[in-house]
Structure 1
Amino acid sequence: MPLCFYTAAMPEPNSAQCPLCGQSNQCAMAAGLAPAQCWCMARPVAPEALQRLPPERRGLACICPHCARPVPAAADMIEHPISEELPCPPTTSK
């Protein structure tokens, strides 16, 4: 179920901007189109993304598709090992 939270009754001057990053939120409703045309009707919005919004900003503008993605936990991130050993810096001894 989409989690679009744009409320036509509560417009804000920047309702086409993502309140998290300031970029275009690509919201169909903010552009005057039907809600069914919005990206959030076909793609999930991570609940933690909505929780990052300050309470006073909720319900005023949709977040963008990029900010709507879940943020991977540190344990889920892939660590890329160094493929070759780096040489030790030369030492100078007197």
Structure 2
Amino acid sequence: MKTANILLLCMLGATLLSTVLCQHSVGPDECCFKFFRFPVDQNRISSYFMTDSRCSLTAVVLIGKRGRNICVDPSQPWVKNITDYLDRNSF
């Protein structure tokens, strides 16, 4: 009987420890899982950033002047135009 209780206590301890360790894992802050398909007016965008390389999709996140984030495909020509425009006008 004591062996079963000790085994149960060890299993409970291992479960609690793994839960705590998983909550403090380091991973990407923001990833995109689907893209906005339609072109966006570059005058409505204030900045952009690339998603982390650990994300499943490589994406550009456009940040609107009202604070809205839009995930877009970096291979699209209109996205490249916006990022180039923002790069030129950021200084």
**TM-score bucket (shorter structure):** under 0.3
Q: Which has the larger radius of gyration?
A: 2
TM-score, structure 2 normalization: 0.22
Structure with the greater relative contact order (CA < 8 A, sep ≥ 6): 1 or 2?
A: 1
